[in-house]
């Protein structure tokens, strides 16, 4: 597992808040996996695939643990990725995890968890706003139309 300094976690946190300088620092210092981690949290399948293919298994497990995957959480514990496990637990509402990280002097992970949680809520709010609902309806209609077209194509092939 790659070591992440408190400063690198701080830069990751700033990136989550849309800080361009933090983004550039992460890219320039070869922390692309952290960028992919946040994208994967936001349900970017290619970003998650990048984490797996680049053998960033702890970060991939962190992503899944955020979404209440018990096996992913246990994987983090087995790999001794306690900071990532606690960070995921904070996001999932565990006050004891926050206290444990604070006692250990790892506040950067507490700030990271709160930043991720804030963005998750912001993304969710965006999807339930008036514009977000309209956008989701059109995306749904587009998905249904595409699925229907594929089904029609398959039926035509079967008839031949």
pLDDT mean over 38-54 = 95
Q: Are residues 49 and 92 in the same domain?
A: yes
Q: Are residues 14 and 69 in the same domain?
A: yes
Q: Can you give the length of the chain in residues?
A: 160
Give the sign of the dihedral formed by CA 115, CA 65, CA 83, CA 20. Answer: negative
Kindly report the pTM of this predicted structure.
0.76
Does a structural domain hold residue 89?
yes
Same domain, 134 and 109: no
**Boundaries of domain holding 141:** 129-160
Percentage of the chain beyond pLDDT 90 is 70
| Tally of structural domains, the chain | 2
pLDDT above 80 for 67 = yes
Indicate if the pLDDT at residue 155 is higher than 80: no
Q: Is the pLDDT of residue 126 over 90?
A: no
Domain check: are 107 and 135 in the same one?
Answer: no
Is 60 exceeded by the pLDDT of residue 132? no
Cβ(28)–Cβ(54) below 8 Å: no
């Amino acid at each position: 597992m790659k070591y992440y300094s408190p400063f690198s976690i701080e830069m990751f946190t700033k990136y989550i808040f849309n800080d361009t300088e933090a983004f550039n620092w992460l890219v320039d210092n070869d922390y692309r996996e952290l960028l992919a981690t946040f994208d994967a949290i936001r349900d970017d399948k290619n970003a998650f695939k990048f984490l797996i293919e680049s053998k960033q298994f702890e970060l991939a497990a962190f992503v899944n643990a955020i979404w209440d995957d018990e096996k992913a959480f246990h994987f983090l514990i087995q790999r001794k990725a306690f900071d990532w496990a606690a960070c995921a637990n904070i996001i999932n509402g565990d006050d004891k995890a926050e206290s444990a990280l604070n006692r250990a002097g790892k506040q950067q992970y507490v700030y990271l968890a709160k930043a991720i949680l804030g963005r998750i809520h912001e993304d969710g709010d965006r999807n339930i706003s008036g514009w977000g609902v309209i956008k989701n309806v059109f995306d749904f209609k587009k998905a249904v139309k595409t699925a229907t077209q594929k089904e029609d194509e398959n039926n035509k092939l079967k008839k031949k």
